[in-house]
Amino acid sequence: MNLRMISTTLAAGQRRHAIGLRAVALVALLGVSGAATVSAGLQDVPAAGAGDRAWVLGEVPDAADNPTTPAKVELGKALFFDPRLSGNGTVSCASCHNPALGWSDGLKTGVGINGTVLGRATPTIVNVAYNTQFMWDGRKKSLEDQALGPMKTPEEMRTDFAAAVHLLGSIDGYVAMFAKAFPGEAIGEETIAKAIAAFERTVVSKDSRFDRWVAGDRKAITAQEYRGYQVFIDPERGNCAKCHSGPNFTDNGYHNIGLKQIEGKADEGRFKIRAVASMKGAFKTPTLRDIALTAPYFHDGSAATLMDVVEHYDRGGDDKSNLSKDVRPLNLTSADKQDLVAFLMALDGRPVAVAIPPLPQSPTVSTAPAAVRTAQSGK
Ligand code: HEC
Ligand code: HEC
């Protein structure tokens, strides 16, 4: 392949990527329905009490060593959506964390560069700013630390960093954005990671109908959703809040909830990071905010719908080896289950329209050499 052919191929790949994202973003705008389906029985919903304040989501925490600024966020957003960072110019963070799909991908497990199928489901990045540990097994301690992971993973983005830094440095728009976001600092792994993390901290799901009910609007949720909330928090019924606790519906802890292990492909989860027996098959409790948008569910994508999730908990899990003591048969009625699902669907935040940012281009199109190097160095 000569230079011109390769750069044309790359450009076509990028175009396809952008068109794909744009198409789904449109679906997101058309498809979101933030409006409450106000049904009969409103008057049955009691006012929220002091105990319900436990669910109030506070201000987004900032990182002491990477305070958020508008310039970092703008740069981080461009990087997040830019497939040119990947080894063959086709995969960006947004390929898997797609705003139109609840910042996930709608797939059972992630699919990386050249169609490589990954071992685990893509989690949403909604409200990651509130997390203290990252990934299904918590192996990352900060968003800054996390951001470089997918780029360095051969199955995900397979970024050639030397080439990527060279490429960014050759695009006038990026040079200006880096200078504004990180005055006096070089374009490099650290500044790339910091910018992406700053952008991710702005991806927040809040002001759901449930939040509005907690804040005092009795009409914000239906009687059915209220009943579902009661099942959710009652230790004798759903017992869900045992683990999905606090404003972001997670205890930031790890539990084995009894998912079936696939013969020969058992995923030990947290145990690989912390070799304590109770951590075998344990995974991080995910947030439930925007949960209606991110099917399928669980780290293995094994539950297609929220009702499947509820049925899983109702039967007390499948694989009982090392099962958490907080997962046991619930004997919920079918009305309880439907109420629970209705409640989960009231946790969608107010829809935010996400515009795909225009990716910085260089007037001189000096990107080919770096891109070509990337294409040749990868396999
Ligand atoms: C090929 C698909 C894919 C791409 C590309 C990708 N991710 Fe992910 N992401 C995943 C999967 C899968 C996981 C969970 C992996 C695990 O836990 O082992 C994940 C986990 C995460 C998490 C942790 C969330 C949490 O709640 O713990 C963050 C944050 C994240 N990705 C951000 C990014 C950023 C930033 C990029 C771009 C630099 C990116 N991802 C690119 C698939 C992808
Ligand atoms: C023992 C702690 C615990 C209890 C109790 C619990 N969960 Fe979970 N939940 C988790 C963990 C851990 C995961 C991730 C498990 C995995 O994928 O391996 C999870 C996953 C989920 C998911 C999928 C999220 C996603 O993004 O894929 C939903 C939905 C959910 N739980 C709802 C509930 C409901 C509803 C209840 C009550 C009936 C409940 N949970 C009870 C810990 C718990």
- Tell me what the mean pLDDT of segment 223-247 comes to: 98
Q: Does 261 map to a domain?
A: yes
- Tell me what the mean pLDDT of segment 173-181 comes to: 97
Q: What is the pLDDT of residues 40-81, one digit of tens each?
A: 445 689 999 999 999 999 999 999 999 999 999 999 999 999
- Distance from residue 156's CA to the centre of ligand 2 (Å): 26
Q: Same structural domain for residues 169 and 141?
A: yes
Q: How confident is the model at residue 319 (pLDDT cuts 50, 70, 90)?
A: very high
pLDDT given for residue 43 in this prediction: 60
pLDDT given for residue 363 in this prediction: 55
d(CA 342, CA 60): 27
What is the sign, positive or negative, of the torsion defined by CA atoms of 130, 136, 142, 143? Answer: negative
Q: Same structural domain for residues 264 and 212?
A: yes
Q: Does 153 map to a domain?
A: yes
Q: Same structural domain for residues 167 and 278?
A: no
233 Cβ closer than 6 Å to some ligand 2 atom:
no
Q: Same structural domain for residues 226 and 330?
A: yes
pLDDT at 2 over 80: no
Q: Structure tokens of 229?
A: 């909330």
Q: Same structural domain for residues 146 and 7?
A: yes
What's the chain's average pLDDT?
87
H or E element at residue 198: helix 189-200
Q: Structure tokens of 353?
A: 């329209």
Q: Structure tokens of 99?
A: 């705003």
With beta carbons less than 8 A apart as the criterion, state whether 255 and 326 touch: yes
In a mutational test of the pocket of ligand 1, which residue from 142, 143, 146, 202 has the highest number of ligand atoms less than 8 Å from its CB?
146
pLDDT given for residue 362 in this prediction: 72
d(CA 68, CA 194): 9
Q: Same structural domain for residues 18 and 164?
A: yes
Q: How confident is the model at residue 361 (pLDDT cuts 50, 70, 90)?
A: confident
- Distance from residue 146's CA to the centre of ligand 1 (Å): 8
With beta carbons less than 8 A apart as the criterion, state whether 255 and 283 touch: yes
126 Cβ closer than 6 Å to some ligand 2 atom:
no
Q: What is the pLDDT of residues 101-131, one digit of tens each?
A: 999 999 999 999 999 999 999 999 999 999 9
Q: Does 297 map to a domain?
A: yes
Q: Same structural domain for residues 224 and 327?
A: yes
pTM: 0.88
pLDDT at 353 over 50: yes
- Distance from residue 150's CA to the centre of ligand 1 (Å): 6
pLDDT given for residue 17 in this prediction: 57
Rounded to a whole number of angstroms, the CA Rg of the chain reads 22
The CATH number assigned to the domain holding 185 equals: 1.10.760.10
- Tell me what the mean pLDDT of segment 344-358 comes to: 94
Q: Same structural domain for residues 214 and 193?
A: no
Q: How confident is the model at residue 379 (pLDDT cuts 50, 70, 90)?
A: very low
Q: Does 109 map to a domain?
A: yes
- Tell me what the mean pLDDT of segment 328-337 comes to: 98
Q: Does 130 map to a domain?
A: yes
Q: Provide the number of structural domains found in the chain.
A: 2
d(CA 7, CA 366): 11
Structural domain boundaries, residue 336: 42-48+207-345
pLDDT given for residue 359 in this prediction: 93
With beta carbons less than 8 A apart as the criterion, state whether 167 and 356 touch: no
Lowest-pLDDT choice from 142-151, 262-271, 355-364: 355-364
For residue 297, the cross-strand partners are 303
Q: Structure tokens of 291?
A: 């949960």
Q: Structure tokens of 337?
A: 């289950």
d(CA 274, CA 287): 22
With beta carbons less than 8 A apart as the criterion, state whether 201 and 127 touch: no
- Distance from residue 80's CA to the centre of ligand 1 (Å): 11
Q: Same structural domain for residues 370 and 332?
A: no
pLDDT at 367 over 90: no
- Distance from residue 89's CA to the centre of ligand 2 (Å): 36
Question: Residue for token digits 């198409």?
Answer: 23
Q: Provide the Cα torsion 30, 35, 39, 42; round to 10°.
A: 170
Q: Same structural domain for residues 256 and 160?
A: no
Q: Same structural domain for residues 363 and 250?
A: no
Q: Does 54 map to a domain?
A: no
Q: How confident is the model at residue 372 (pLDDT cuts 50, 70, 90)?
A: very low
Ligand 1 neighbours, Cβ below 6 Å, are: 91, 93, 95-97, 110, 112, 118, 120, 122-123, 125, 128, 131, 134-137, 143, 146-147, 150-151, 156-157, 196, 200
Nearest CA to ligand 1 atom 43: 96
Q: Nearest bound ligand to CA 287? A: 2
With beta carbons less than 8 A apart as the criterion, state whether 288 and 102 touch: no
92 Cβ closer than 6 Å to some ligand 2 atom:
no
d(CA 156, CA 83): 12
What is the DSSP code string of 139-150? -B-SHHHHHHHH
Peptide bond into 286 cis (omega under 30): no
Q: Does 57 map to a domain?
A: no
CA end-to-end distance (rounded Å), the chain: 15
Distance of CA 376 to the CA centre of its chain: 31
Q: Same structural domain for residues 287 and 359?
A: no
Give Cβ neighbours of residue 240 (< 8 Å, ≥ 6 apart).
Answer: 231, 232, 233, 313, 340
Lowest-pLDDT choice from 23-37, 79-93, 251-265, 273-287: 23-37
Question: Residue for token digits 């949960």?
Answer: 291
